[in-house]
Amino acid sequence: MSDMTAPLTGRRALVTGGSRGIGAEVAADGGTAVALHADSADPDQVAASVDEAVSALGGLDILVNNAGVAYIADAETFPLEQFDRLVAINVRAVFVAIQRALPHFGEGSRIINIGSINADRVSVSGLSVYAMTKGAIAGLTRGLARELGAQGITVNNVQPGPVATDLNPEEGEFADANRQVTALRRYGQPRDIASAVSYLAGPEAGYITGANWNVDGGYTV
C-alpha cells in the first residue's frame, strides 16, 4: 500500500463512473471501493447503486461523484435531448447520489465532486451547456458545504483542466490548442486528479470544505 492510500485504510467509498479514465484511477487510489453498474441518466438506478454500495460495504464514508458526459455544439443547434442528458447525468445524478448517501454519513464523511475547469473558463465555442452543468456543481458544492458542515461532513469539488483520457486524448489539433493555454504546456494525467481526490478524502483535509479546487496545470492562470 502506498503512502497515499494508507490514510484511507478501512474507509468505504463509492466512485461513480469508475470504469475508466479519471474514475478508474480514483477508484484504485485508496479506501475500499465497490464497482456497480448503473445508468447515471436514470435517478432510480443512481439511488439503487448507493444502496448496493452501502449493503456491500456495510456503510459508506466517501462519495466521489465522477460520472459525467459532454456534448459540443453551438447554442443555436444544440439538441434539447442532449441538453436534458447533460443535466440529468452531470447535475441531477450528483444530487441524487448525495441525497441517497447522506443518511449513511457521519462525522468525518467526505463528498467529493469532479467538476471541470470549464465552470470558470471556456476557451472554445460549443461548450456552453457543459460549462453550465459544471458551474451548477460548483454552486451545489458551496451550498452543501454550508448545509452539512455542522455534521462534520466536508463537500469539495475538484475541477480538472485538460486531462488525458480516451474521451480527451492528448494528441491532435484540439489537444495542441489546449496545451498552449496551460502554464505547464502539457496535459494532466488521471493520476493527477486522483491524487487531489485522495488528499481531500483523507484526514489531513478535514478543515477543507466548500472548495472548488482547480487541478489544471495553470489553465486558469
How far apart are the C-alpha atoms of 146 and 157, rounded to whole Å? 14
User: Would you give the DSSP letter of residue 72?
Assistant: -
Residue 111 sits in a domain whose CATH number is 3.40.50.720
Is residue 218 in some structural domain?
A: no
Is residue 10 in some structural domain?
A: yes
Number of Cβ within 10 Å of residue 114's Cβ equals 27
User: Would you give the DSSP letter of residue 163?
Assistant: B
Task: Return all residues near 131 (Cβ < 8 A) that are at least 6 apart.
Answer: 116, 118, 119, 122
Q: How confident is the model at residue 221 (pLDDT cuts 50, 70, 90)?
A: confident
Our answer to whether residue 207 is catalytic in this structure is: no
Is residue 20 in some structural domain?
A: yes
Which of 20-29, 32-41, 63-72, 96-105 shows the lowest per-residue confidence on average (mean pLDDT)?
32-41
Is residue 213 in some structural domain?
A: no
How far apart are the C-alpha atoms of 109 and 101, rounded to whole Å? 10
Q: How confident is the model at residue 2 (pLDDT cuts 50, 70, 90)?
A: very low
Is residue 157 in some structural domain?
A: yes
> 78-116, pLDDT tens digit by residue?
999 999 999 999 999 999 999 999 999 999 999 999 999
Cβ atoms of 215 and 193 within 8 Å: the answer is yes
Is residue 21 in some structural domain?
A: yes
Task: Return all residues near 114 (Cβ < 8 A) that are at least 6 apart.
Answer: 22, 23, 26, 64, 65, 66, 68, 157, 158, 160, 193, 197
Give the model's pLDDT for residue 1: 31
Give the model's pLDDT for residue 118: 96
What is the torsion angle, in degrees rounded to the nearest 10, for the CA atoms of residue 39, residue 43, residue 111 and residue 212?
A: 90
Is residue 32 in some structural domain?
A: yes
Find the catalytic residue in 130, 187, 199, 219.
Answer: 130
Reduced to 3 states, what is the DSSP secondary structure of residue 139? helix
Cβ atoms of 30 and 176 within 8 Å: the answer is no
Give the model's pLDDT for residue 22: 93
Give the model's pLDDT for residue 31: 59
> 116-147, pLDDT tens digit by residue?
999 999 988 999 999 999 999 999 999 999 99
Give the model's pLDDT for residue 32: 65
Helices and strands (H, E) in the chain, number of each type:
7, 6
The alpha carbon of residue 98 and the mean position of all alpha carbons in its chain are separated, in whole angstroms, by 12
Is the pLDDT confidence value at 29 over 70? no
Is residue 132 in some structural domain?
A: yes
Domain count, the chain: 1
Q: Which three cell numbers stand for residue 166?
A: 480516451
> 144-195, pLDDT tens digit by residue?
999 999 999 999 999 999 999 887 888 877 788 888 889 999 999 999 999 9
Cβ atoms of 156 and 111 within 8 Å: the answer is yes
Tell me the average pLDDT across 55-61: 95
Domain that holds residue 190: 6-202
Q: Which three cell numbers stand for residue 115?
A: 467538476
β partners of residue 154: 110
Give the model's pLDDT for residue 193: 97
